[in-house]
Structure 1
Amino acid sequence: MGENAELVVIKNAGHALNIEKPKVLFKNLKSFLFESSAPTTTKQESHSNGNKQD
């Protein structure tokens, strides 16, 4: 992760973050998943049994 790592602290939330602060969680999760600078790939990876999974 190195320089791409980011710490997000959501105040006044405990272990049930998805129930306590769902909008804040979604905003940060969306940012992590879709707005990251990590390269994306369209290649399907084979699993240990040799079958490809969609």
Structure 2
Amino acid sequence: MSRTRGYRIGYAITRPLFPVLRRLLPDQVTATDGVGRAMLRVARQGSPSRVLGNRDLR
């Protein structure tokens, strides 16, 4: 959890919207568990690109 009050408020407001945003904007929204899985996959298998976007992570 963030120590910054504004971030905590923002997280509390957007948390219920996250599933909707993931469905409406799948190439723009990535959960942290997806980022972690993508990092492990790139570490094991490599990647053709040095910079990966949300679409690449999925």
TM-score if structure 1 supplies the norm length?
0.25
Structure in which a larger fraction of residues adopt helix: 2
Question: Which protein is bigger by CA-based radius of gyration?
Answer: 1
